[in-house]
Amino acid sequence: MASDTSVTWLTQEAFDRLSAELEALSTTGRVEIASKIESAREEGDLKENSGYHAAKDEQGKQEARIRQLKDLLKRAEVGDAPESKGIVETGTVITAVIAGDETVFLIGDREIAGDSDYDVYSPQSPLGEAILGLKVGASTSYTAPNGKQIAVVINNVETWSGQ
């Protein structure tokens, strides 16, 4: 596991899924959106052509996603989830009491989780930064974006199974 925070850990399944999405968006996705834009252009006046503006907005979102995927995949470190040693690290599932409520979540990039039901917190988020490196039983607090101090107790750390 690389310690460079610009590196994103991904499972092979997540890497393959994201690569396939990038390929689809970069090829057929671009062709489809270009076709929509061309069809909308043929309708006439572009100032009041909602179909044209919607297609251009969609194109912008698609191109942003392509850039995001390229960057993510370029920085990806592909491998198995780290074996849990009871220490919070990227790619582990955490059970913690946060502000009095027990919650289970994954530490890492949201792209790792795919279709799982886990909430995902970035290691660079206020919560992620506060708990990285903590052991089961440890407690800490972090400052939320609204300025409130939020208490956290780590109850369990498990290996991410990809589910």
Residue with tokens 């059970």: 95
Mention every residue, 6+ apart, whose C-beta is less than 8 A from residue 115: none
Q: What is the pLDDT of residues 66-117, one digit of tens each?
A: 998 998 889 888 877 667 778 998 888 999 999 999 999 998 877 776 677 8
Q: Please tell me the predicted confidence (pLDDT) of residue 48.
A: 77
Q: Is the pLDDT of residue 133 over 80?
A: yes
Q: Is the pLDDT of residue 5 over 60?
A: no
- How far, in Å, CA of 8 to CA of 147, rounded? 28
Q: Is the pLDDT of residue 163 over 60?
A: no
Q: Please tell me the predicted confidence (pLDDT) of residue 99.
A: 92
Q: Please tell me the predicted confidence (pLDDT) of residue 111.
A: 75
- How far, in Å, CA of 52 to CA of 32, rounded? 13
Q: What is the pLDDT of residues 139-158, one digit of tens each?
A: 999 998 899 999 999 999 99
Instruction: Identify the structural domains of the chain with CATH numbers, from first to last.
Output: 8-78 (1.10.287.180), 87-159 (3.10.50.30)
- How far, in Å, CA of 127 to CA of 81, rounded? 20
The encoded tokens of residue 135 equal: 């052991």
pLDDT band at 30 (very low <50, low <70, confident <90, very high): very high
Mean pLDDT of the chain: 86
pLDDT band at 3 (very low <50, low <70, confident <90, very high): very low
Q: What is the mean pLDDT of residues 47-61?
A: 87
